[in-house]
Structure 1
Amino acid sequence: MLKSIKGIFTWKRTLLLSLISILLLNVFSFYGLYTNKFYFFKVDNYIFPILSLAHVIFLYVMWFKIKEAELSDVPMRNLEYGLYFVSLVYLFKVFETLFTLLSYNQYENHLIPGTFLPIGILMLVLYLMLFGLTFLTFSYRREIVGTYAFDDMNQHVDNWNS
């Protein structure tokens, strides 16, 4: 199944779709589904854009390493480990958006904008897609850039103590 997914989502498409998803979700992080308004003065709305910076940097590093045929390094590893935490935030946002969408019937007597379901479903799909694309990017990193086996690399260094 992973091979068929990789046939559709090449590494270039994966990086591009991840970037597009991040940009759209950064805009939607300021959007209030219940009110159909943007809120730029709520501090909570800035958490996702700030955390997604780590993902954008990882995408750039991944692209650079592939284009220059470089191997993985310690900063890339540390960035990926940070991205594991960010992916948990993505998963949290999936459940938060799903919970918000499922609360639609609880507020039948209130005025809910017509954009509630379409934009909410779009956000849910984008979060799910970003979560999946994140781990697909990790898979491409292992295949194309290489693993994080730094102990083996250090054994082949010619040192002056010999």
Structure 2
Amino acid sequence: MLKSIKGIFTWKRTLLLSLVSIVVLNIFSFYGLYTNKFYFFKVDNYIFPILSLVHLVFLYVMWFKIKERELSDPPMRNLEYGLYIVSLVYLFKIFETLFTLSSYGDYENHLIPGTFLPIGILMFILYTLLFGLTFLTFSYRKQLVGTYVFDDMNQHVDNWNS
């Protein structure tokens, strides 16, 4: 199954789709589903865009390492560990969006904008896609950049004694 997914989502498509998803979700992080308005002065709306910077840096490092045919290194490993934590935030946002969407029937006597379901479903799909693409990116990192084995790191460096 992973091979068929990798056939559809090549490493370039995975990085590009991740980037597009992050940008769109950063815009929607300021959007209120119930009110159909953007809220730029709420501090908690900036949490997702700030955390997504870790993902953006990891995507850049991944692209650079693949293009330059470089090996993995400790800073990349630390970024990936940070991205594991950010992926938990993505998982939280998936459930939060699903909970918000499921509350649609609770407010049937109130005026809910017509954009509630389409944008809510789009956000749910994008968060789920981003969560899956994150782990697919980890798989591509292992395949194309290499694993994080630093015990034999000195074997890859030219030394002056040879």
TM class, shorter-length: over 0.9
Match of 2:13 in 1: 13
C-alpha separation in 2, matches of 1:156 and 1:38 = 51
Match of 1:95 in 2: 95
Match of 1:76 in 2: 76
**Paired residues for 1:1-162 under 5 Å:** 1-154=1-154
In structure 1, runs of 5+ residues without a counterpart are none
> For this pair of structures, how many residues does the alignment match?
160
Q: Give the 4+ runs in structure 1 shifted more than 3 A.
A: 154-160
| Backbone CA RMSD of aligned residues | 1.4
C-alpha separation in 2, matches of 1:76 and 1:155 = 19
Pair 1:13–1:113, CA change in 2 (3 A) = same
**Deviations 1:99-140 (Å, cap 9, x if unpaired)?**
000000000000000000000000000000000000000000
In structure 2, runs of 5+ residues without a counterpart are none
Relative to the length of structure 2, the TM-score reads 0.96
Relative to the length of structure 1, the TM-score reads 0.96
**Deviations 1:12-71 (Å, cap 9, x if unpaired)?**
000000000000000000000000000000000000000000000000000000000000
